[in-house]
Amino acid sequence: MGRPIRVLVVEDNPEDADLTVRALHRGGYAPAWQRVDTAEAMREALRVQSWDLALADYGIPGFGALPALRVLHESGLDIPCIVLSRTAGEETAVDVMRAGARDYVKKENLTRLVPAVERELREAQVRRERVSAEEALRESRELLQAVVNAAPVILFALDNAGTITFAEGRGLEALGRTQGELVGHSAFALYRGNEEVLAQVRGALAGERDHSVAPVPCAGRTFEMRWAAFRGRGGERLGTIGLAADITDRVELERELLHSQKMQALGTLAGGIAHDFNNLLQAILGHAELLRERKADEDPDVPSLSGIEEAAHRAARLISELLTFSRMQAINLRPIALHEVVRATAEHLERGLPSSVTLRLELGAARDRVVGDPDRLQQAMQNLCMNAREAMPDGGELLVETANRVVEPGEPGMVPEAEPGRYVVMSVQDSGPGMDPDMQRRVFDPFFTTKDVGKGTGLGLAIVYGVARSHSGFVQLVSEPGRGTRFSIYLPEAEPARPHAEPADEEARGSETVLVVEDESMLADLLRQMLERRGFLPLVAHGADEALALFEAHRESIALVVTDLVMPGRDGMELAQELHARDTALPILLATGYVADSDVAELQGWGIRGVIAKPYRAGDIVRKVREVLDARPES
């Protein structure tokens, strides 16, 4: 058995073909062969199977070695072709070799055929191996390139002198330089002036470091870098390869998280003292109010009493400021028209503005409905306007604008907490000195202020932030040194309003029996007096047990219960549950320094018809009592 070989014989003479094949047999081959003598037959043969070798007779009438070589060439296949001829001389040989034949053998001298075939098969094998090695190399290059292109990093290499020899990767965009601007240039020259980058390069070249411990700022982004020595076969150091990852977004998120943790800590602290503090304020406020109501208008004590009330109110506002941005204040969300709030605040502000500052309103929002707390929004706008005013001691323009905006998912330039959706935006813009990016990062921090002691508390913007968050919105800040500052509060757009009448009754009165539950007798007494003065019949309990006993005794007459939330023993919520179990129709009002947002929905299920934020005015609580009683279904 010879070595198998597939041979395409281009020959018009079958005997010559036999002779050729026999020569191959003698040379130790076992040829599988086919004879063709037209271009079409040859094309067909090439199409249907693969061949190791073509043997072409030079002089077939109408067809021959040269046309056969053309057919082979057109096919794109790498099949060695040896030309056989009876007649040819030197010139023919040159022609066929030019046309792509691998060798030229005279038919009279067929002994030359087998060595030629052997050589050709060997060379074809070598060629095939080289092609597949090249293919493999190309594939692995392509894979590497795909990896480099897909990874959001920059891969680069430096020689030992610090010249960049390689720079690739999708991260190049973030670096703001093209490959051409990097490769072939010295890193030291390119980054002259950026000490952080230079320190990295120096350390890496010296082999001192393999990664950046601190984030490296460059081109307005933040990078994390890794380094590794690049060595030759003998272990000699050829240079350094590096990887830079853009971690700007991650750093930003971490900062955000830290900020919200700080806010939360402060909120917890504020929440902790708010209850006691509010109770004290409540007592001060309530007694002053009662005293003043008992006095005639011209009484000389009235100004002092008003002074006490005013001071207590300011203290209450301070506490409520702390609570607002920590979201623990019982904020009073309802559908409102933002423009009404803006107009009212502007009117209020305008009176206090120096003549050098002009206030301009541009209420451009076609839809200004939001679910909000007008007092809180007014406070936020006021804080922004006060800052703007303080930023323009020599005068300037204060612009308050509203607009409708749609925030797209992943919109660039937006703060990380920005949720996509439709918003009503209120912006306050000044022509003051503006702020650099470092300052912009810090202004929302509670207690961050650049103002003199006693002038600034550093709470203004922390509150603005908190107000926006408690309205499911966010604050966007745009500023540049020398180009003014613009704060925008984004509030989710609400459905259009249904017209409804506002119940505004300053002198609400009543004659119903109201059960008052308050553990501090000072406050309980105060509440009793407030209700009595407006004609109600208050029953006072100092705790849940006493309240339940009173309820059992006066079940028929009690129309409503006002209970404090925080009490020793069973608290206001537990009491509400107990009462609700006994009489599901009994309306309950909860008085509290703060309620977490998450609790409000739960309250409805326990007969709680309203929450009164402490400290309250007599008018407020009586109005609320009246409101809830009037809302009872007719029986």
Map residues 73-92 to x or -, x wherever contact with ligand ADP holds by CB under 6 A.
Answer: --------------------
Single out the residue of 449, 513, 529, 577 in contact with ligand ADP (rule: CB under 6 A). 449
> Looking at beta carbons, which residue is closest to Mg ion?
460
Using DSSP's 3-state secondary structure scheme, residue 107 falls into: helix
> From the list 71, 270, 435, 562, which residue makes contact with ligand ADP (rule: CB under 6 A)?
435
Q: Of the two residues 200 and 383, which places its CB atom closer to ligand ADP in the complex? A: 383
Per CB under 6 A, the list member of 387, 431, 563, 592 interacting with ligand ADP is 387
What is the Cα 105 distance to its own chain's centre?
Answer: 75
The beta-strand segments (E) located in 69-190 are 81-85, 103-106, 153-159, 164-168
Q: Do 520 and 541 contact (CB within 8 A), yes or no?
A: no
What pairing do the DSSP bridges indicate for beta strands 153-159 and 81-85? unpaired
CA 54 → CA 8, 60, 78, 83, distances in Å? 5, 15, 10, 8
> Closest distance between ligand ADP and the C-beta of residue 500, in Å?
36
Cβ neighbours of residue 118 closer than 8 Å, sequence gap 6 or more: 27
Q: Is the distance from CB of 44 to CB of 18 less than 8 angstroms? A: no
Question: Closest separation between CB of residue 263 and ligand ADP, Å?
Answer: 13
Residues between 392 and 431 with contacts to ligand ADP, criterion CB under 6 A: 430
Q: Which of Mg ion, ligand ADP, none lies near 508, with the C-beta cut-off 5 to 8 A by kind?
A: none
- Residue 105: strand, helix, or coil: strand
Under the binding rule (CB under 5 A), the answer on residue 382 touching Mg ion is: no
> Parallel, antiparallel, or unpaired: how do β-strands 357-363 and 396-407 relate?
parallel
Q: Which is nearer to ligand ADP, 392 or 575 (CB)?
A: 392
Q: How far is the CB of 459 from ligand ADP (least distance, A)?
A: 6
Helical (H) or strand (E) element with 140: helix 113-150
Q: Does 130 bind ligand ADP (CB under 6 A)?
A: no
What's the CA gap between 407 and 425, in Å, rounded?
11
Q: Which of 387, 429, 476, 563 binds Mg ion (CB under 5 A)?
A: 387
222 interacts with Mg ion by CB under 5 A: no
The enclosing H or E element of 373 equals none
Q: How many residues does the chain have?
A: 635
Q: From the list Mg ion, ligand ADP, none, pick the one residue 391 interacts with, judged by a Cβ distance below 5 to 8 Å according to partner type.
A: ligand ADP
Output 476 or 563, the one with its CB closest to ligand ADP.
476
Crossing angle of the two packed helices 374-390 and 338-350, in degrees rounded to 10 = 40
- 379 contacts Mg ion (rule: CB under 5 A): no
Instruction: Report the residue from 460, 543, 610, 615 that binds Mg ion according to the rule CB under 5 A.
Output: 460
Closest separation in Å from C-beta 581 to Mg ion: 49
The DSSP letter of residue 626 is H
**Residue 468 lies near ligand ADP (rule: CB under 6 A):** no
In sequence order, the 6+-apart residues with CB closer than 8 A to the CB of 515 are 538, 539, 541, 547, 550, 551, 554, 558, 560, 561, 562
- Residue 554 token pair: 């006066």
Kindly indicate which of the ranges 208-216, 369-377, 457-465, 602-610 contains the residues binding Mg ion, using the contact rule CB under 5 A.
Answer: 457-465
Taking the complex as a whole, how short is the minimal distance between the CB of residue 411 and ligand ADP, in angstroms? 24
Give min distance, CB of 453 to ligand ADP, in A. Answer: 11
At closest approach, how far in Å is the CB of 451 from ligand ADP?
4
**Residue 443 binding: pick among Mg ion, ligand ADP, none (C-beta 5-8 Å cut-off by kind):** ligand ADP
Beta strands in 260-419 (DSSP E): 334-337, 357-363, 369-372, 396-407
Q: Tell me if 446 contacts Mg ion by CB under 5 A.
A: no
Task: Using alpha carbons, select from 194, 210, 205 the residue that is nearest to residue 165.
Answer: 205
> Rule CB under 6 A: which residues touch ligand ADP?
383, 387-388, 391, 430, 432, 435, 443, 448-451, 456-462, 485
> Rule CB under 5 A: which residues touch Mg ion?
387, 460
